Structure formats: C-alpha cells, structure tokens
Chain A
Amino acid sequence: MRLRLLGIAIASFVILAQAPQPPTKLAPAKPQAATPTTAHVPQIVHVPPDEVVAILGQPVAGPDGKTIGRLIDVLVNEDGNPSAAVIDVGGFMGVGARKIAVHWTALHFAPGATRQPISLDWTIDQIKAAPEYGSATRPAPVVVAAPKPEPPAKPVIPAPPKPSAPPHSPPVQSSPPVQSSPPTQTGNPSRPSPLPPSGTR
C-alpha cells in the first residue's frame, strides 16, 4: 500500500501519552482519565499535564541525556498517526544545524518530566549518519530502522514496519525516500513505493 505522509505544520501538537508509544518505556498512561463518561453530551476532557506533553520546539535528549536538538515537525500518515519526527540537530547560534527525520518509534516521551521530556534512543553515530531532511514537499529521507540497542522494536502498536519491506533494512539505518507530499499533491504514483514505516494496519 502506498503510504502518504503529510508533513504538517502542527501548531501545538499534543500526543496522548498512550498512543504510539513503544511499550518498553513508561508505564502505560491511564486512558480512563481521557475517556468521556457519557457518549451523548459533548464534554470537555481535562488531560492532566503529566499525561501529555507539548513537543513542538522542545529539546530532544540523546542517549547520554544531552540535548541533541529540537523537535520541529511531525510527519503523519493517512490515518493521522505520527510516522516520523523532524529534528533540528547540532549547530551553534543557528549555524550548522541540520534537520533529520527519525522514525517515530525511536522517540520516547516522558510527559511528567520537567526537563527533556523527549528522548531519542539513537547513538551519536546514528544521528551523524542520518541524511538531511529537506522539506515536506519532497520525498523525505526518514531513517526508519529501529536502532540496534532496542530489542523490542517490533511490537510497536502503529508501526509494524515490515509488510512489504524491501530487503534493505539492516538493523542500523537505511534511508529510503518516504513519500511525503503536501496535502494538495497526494503522492506521486510514478515513484516506487518505499518502505512504509508505519500506519499499515
């Protein structure tokens, strides 16, 4: 199935901590807090601040806890599920920063944490090797392969990254151009369909 990623500029993207989280980290959040009690009456649901985290513009911590960059965009698929995050890494006073797109499952979120609620479980070498992410209007090189040191990369809920996987997913990374198109021009049929990183249910 052809996957369409919509690179969407999301003003304040709030993830429910429960949704696309690898089950390894974090005790599963309590979904009942966000469940409406009645089905008919429109209700305002108050999500406690320790269950969600605003991510746009937030620093992303690397494996050693040091900030490696900032999360600047989220790429979602047809179903609205996040497929990848664009992170602005490195740089000094804005010079030398580069954007990389990482697979959503490589990120971990700690909604309650005051410092660095977002972390990326990649090694520095993996971050260095990631290709530059251009813009949402062109094929996006999203690094899809889950990093080695994380064994349970498979049981991720929204992203079984296998069904039509070309034989090019060694454990470290490869960078197939994931189709990413602006909402108007949805996908280019002439392009070979790359490995769908997520959303294929």
Chain B
Amino acid sequence: MPRDGTLPGHGSRALDLLNFFVADVQTGFGAFVAVYLTMHKWTQIEIGTVLSAGTVFALVSQIPAGALVDAVAHKRIVAAWGLGGIFVSAVLLALWPTELPVLVAQVLHAVASSVITPAIAAISLHLVGRPGLGERLGRNARYAAIGTALSAVVLGAGGDLVSSRVVFWLTAVLCVPALATLPAIGHGVYARRQTTVQPFDWQGLRGLFGDRRLLVFAGAITLFHLANADMLPLAGATVTMRAGSFANVIIAACIMVPQSVVALASPAVGRVAARLGRRPVLLLGWAALPLQGVLLAVLPGVWFVVAVQLVAGVSAAVFGVMLPLISADLTRGTSHFNLCMGVLGLAVTIGATLSTLLGGWLAEEVSMSAAFLGLAAAGLAGVLVVWAAMPETGD
C-alpha cells in the first residue's frame, strides 16, 4: 500500500522537480509577452494578432496533443519534446522580437504546452498508479505553485533590473534542469498497466465521448475558467487604480498569495479527494470563485484585494488536482486518459478566452465591480452545474 506514491522515492523527487521547473518556464509566457513586445516597439494591433494566434493554436492543439500523449508509450519522450519546443520558443523571443519569429514562438509554445500538461499527468499515473494519483497530483500542484511564485519574483526582478530579454533567456536556461529530471523519474512501475495496447480503442473512445459525466465536467470547467481567468488581471488593474506607485509590489503579492495557498493545500486536496470523494472537494473549489468575485466587487482598498487572493488559492488548489484526477476517473480501464485531459484542456482554454472578453467588456462598459460580479455569476453557474449534475466519480 504505501508504495503508491506515498514514499518519496527517487522518481517521486524527480517528478517534484519536473513540476517545479515546468512552472518556471511557463511564467514568462503569460501576460509578460505583451509587455516585452511593447518594449520592442510592437503596436497593440500587432501584439493582439500574435497573442490571438497563440490562443487559436492552444485551442486546436489540446485534443490532438492529448491523443498524441496517449498514443506514445514513452510519455517522458513526449514531455522532452514539449520542453524542447518551449526552449526554442524562448530563444526565438529573446533573440528576435520581430514578427515571424514571435509568431512561430507563440504557436510553438501553445502546442508544446498542450503536450506537456497531459504528459506530466501521464508520467504521474505511471509512477504511482490510480490509488496514489490523488496525492501525487497534490504534490505536482504544490511544486508547480512554488515554481510559479519563485519564478514570478525572479523573472519580474530580472526583467525590471536587467533587461526584458533576460526573462526569456532565463526561461530557456530553466528548460535544461527540467529536461534533466526526466531520466531520473524512471519508467514508472505502473507504466505497463496504464499504457495503451491498441492505438485505436474505438470502444473506449465511444465510451468516453458518450459519457455524460465528461460533458458535465467540461461544462463546469468552462464556467470555472470563465469566472477565474480574468479575475487576477482585473484585481491587478484594481490595485493599479487604487495603489499608485507601489502597485507592482502589491500585484506581485496578489500573484504570490494564491500560489502559497496552493503549495500548502494541494496535497491535502488530493488526500481528501481520495478519502471523502471528489464531489465535496469540487463544490468547495468551485464555490470559492463566486465568493472571490463578490468580495473583490465590494471590498475597498488594496490590502483586501491581496487578502481575497487567499480564496483564489483555494479554488486554484482544487482545480489543479481535480482536472487530472477526474480525467483518470472517467477513463478508468481505457487508454484515453490524456485525450480526456485534452478535452478538458479545451474547455479550460475556451472558458479562459471568453473570460477575458467578458471581464474586459464589463469593466469597460459598466464598471469594475460589475465585471467582478459578472465573473462571480459565471462561477455560481459553475457551482450549480457541479451540484446538480456532476456525480461522484471516485470509487
């Protein structure tokens, strides 16, 4: 029993580090790309175009990437290709912030990210098997959160103090230790049992896409990210509006606080989900979002905004563990774990894209409070979907 991932073995430590470094290399690719391109005299229209290209490729690559990870027996090789893609993407951005290289970099990064997320989940499953997966995913989320928080500070300071290019050079450099962890993770004792034997498992495929639970969960995830994705950017804009000269420090705190909660709470989320079932944990995490939106809409000042990020940490911790965990539940006995993650990843991307549109539109046309309340309403709809339609998927 305790072999199922509870013992921090050699491979387990290496997987911790993989999650840490992958989170590091992803940090620079977020909102920072727009800042970086602005510094290189890109116009807003040009920036919008390349970012949209990245979003489109993130959308279309989710499901094929999941299917690819399913089809390849050696998940660590897929992860290595994904990291290689991110490395090239970072180098392109650092060397040539001009149109074609940046476009290639954005597309490459979108596709590579679509591959890496399911690949890490697959590696985790191979390492600990289904019984230990909840706890393992909690650890993944913990180390990813630590990586995100640390790299935000280091890259943010480096970008400010040295040059904006440093962010992407550091990103490229950090791909190296990430790659180095892969051999150390090892093949995984459960690899044999979890790997697909037949590449086209029509039976399982039909079972997966005919599964009402997948549809319900995808809907719940879309609503979750519809509420979630624009919450931090809007909170940051609120801070900028209220805080003046120290805004950047406070926004950095707004990024750190939820990551700290994720780092502390994720393993517990995984354990509770394994012991008490998925539903209560899902409801808790989903319910944290509307609460966060309402609090941000009504509370004044900047320090409250930072405090509310504690609530954001709860939803982030739950989401990070539950997406791969429920994917594993839904694909028990089939070879479509990563395809399922790809479908849910598509739901994430759709929700996040719409969130930016909804939040930005409400903030501009009505008010910032209206934007928070609108996002909260979407989050509430997500809670209702989980409460009314999502069955328990654990055993």
Whether B236 pairs with A72 at a CB distance below 8 angstroms is no
Whether B156 pairs with A93 at a CB distance below 8 angstroms is yes
Set A62, A88, A135: member contacting B245, Cβ < 8 A: A62
Per-position 1/0 for B334-357, Cβ under 8 A of A: 000000000000000000000000
Per-position 1/0 for A81-107, Cβ under 8 A of B: 000000011111111111000000000
Q: Which residues of A contact B243 (CB under 8 A)?
A: 128
Check A12/B41 contact, CB under 8 A, given A94-B33, A98-B240, A132-B363: yes
- The answer to whether the Cβ of A47 comes within 8 Å of any Cβ in the partner chain is no
Nearest A residue to B42 via CB reads A57
Set B30, B232, B241: member contacting A98, Cβ < 8 A: B241
- The answer to whether the Cβ of B394 comes within 8 Å of any Cβ in the partner chain is no
How many A residues, CB 8 Å from partner? 32
- The answer to whether the Cβ of B185 comes within 8 Å of any Cβ in the partner chain is no
Nearest B residue to A95 via CB reads B236
- CA of A72 to CA of B241 in the docked complex: distance in angstroms? 18
- The answer to whether the Cβ of B34 comes within 8 Å of any Cβ in the partner chain is yes
| CB of A186 to closest CB in B, whole Å | 18
- CA of A98 to CA of B359 in the docked complex: distance in angstroms? 14
Provide the main secondary structure of the chain B interface: helix
How many B residues, CB 8 Å from partner? 43
Per-position 1/0 for B214-257, Cβ under 8 A of A: 00000000000000000011011111111111011101101100
Q: Which residues of B contact A125 (CB under 8 A)?
A: 244
Set A54, A88, A124: member contacting B38, Cβ < 8 A: A88
Nearest A residue to B34 via CB reads A94
Q: Which residues of B contact A124 (CB under 8 A)?
A: 244-245
Set B32, B45, B242, B247: member contacting A94, Cβ < 8 A: B32
Whether A57 pairs with B44 at a CB distance below 8 angstroms is no
Q: Which residues of A contact B241 (CB under 8 A)?
A: 98, 128
Pull 8 A–B residue pairs with CB atoms less than 8 Å apart, ordered by A: A89-B240, A91-B251, A93-B32, A93-B255, A94-B33, A97-B240, A98-B240, A128-B243
